[in-house]
Amino acid sequence: MKKLILTAAVALLSVNAAISQTNWNVDASHSKLGFSVTHMMVSDVEGKFKVYEGKVTSKTDEDFTDAAIEFSADAASINTEDEKRDGHLKSADFFDVAKYPKITFKSTSMKKNLKKGKTAYDLVGDLTMHGVTKKVTLTAIGAAKTVKDPYGNIKNGFKVTGLINRKDFGLAWNAALEAGGVAVSEEVKLDINIELNKAK
């Protein structure tokens, strides 16, 4: 009897937890999965991935502490506004998209960082790229509040920034400069804007 009661209680808690969760889908038409790298040690070149999808599960419409976040981007959709450069980035020198078509991110924790602001979070997760998975820590700054658009959609969003080293993921190609230094920086700056639609 006790076992039956315990099983029922666990089931009830699971149902309540599921009901209390808020599910969100990424609105790709109002989002950007961007990055930049320093070129020739004098300027930054920006790029983005044009094809991606993601989902977020939060406690409520406003509180994203411990939110579960998953992202997937098509590596072949990389776009730096230069066809020749994009072709090189898709090759085995960099992303090797034929062998590693997907870039994924799955969060492991999301905690508020009040030192950075009321809506700031430290977002930690596993980033998989070029067949290599590494734990990364990013900063996510949330919108001031949840809003409703003219079509009745409930929206929220984040600006996510961070730094990763591409060599950590096996993207090691480079060329030495005559004056010293290298053609492409190892450090990659992430510049991500995410608009979320609450799932209906």
* Number of separate domains in the chain: 1
In the chain, the amino acid numbered 200 is K
Residue 51: Cβ-neighbour burial (10 angstroms; 0-12, 13-18, 19+): middle
Whether 13 is covered by a domain: the verdict is: no
Dihedral Cα 108, 46, 75, 81, nearest 10 deg: 160
What CATH number should be reported for the domain holding residue 68? 2.40.128.110
Residue 80 located in a structural domain: yes
Mean pLDDT confidence for 172-182: 61
pLDDT, greater one: 104 or 175 = 104
pLDDT of 16 higher than 50: no
Is residue 14 situated within a structural domain? no
When the pLDDT of each residue in the chain is averaged and rounded to a whole number, the result is 86
Question: Does a structural domain hold residue 99?
Answer: yes
Structural domain contains residue 3: no
Query: pLDDT by residue (tens digit) across 19-50?
Result: 468 999 999 999 999 999 887 666 888 999 99
Identify the band that residue 144 occupies on the pLDDT scale cut at 50, 70 and 90: confident
Give the structural domain span for 61.
22-198
Q: Of 46, 54, 82, 93, which is closest to residue 190 (Cα–Cα)?
A: 46
In this structure, is residue 15 part of a structural domain?
Answer: no
Of 104, 12, 33, 106, which Cα lies nearest the Cα of 67?
106
Q: Which of 126, 123, 147, 150 is nearest to 195 (CA)?
A: 147
In this predicted model, what pLDDT tens digit does every residue of 78-131 receive, in sequence order? 999 999 999 999 999 999 999 999 999 999 999 999 999 999 999 999 999 999
Task: Tell me whether residue 16 is in a domain.
Answer: no
Provide the whole-model pTM: 0.84
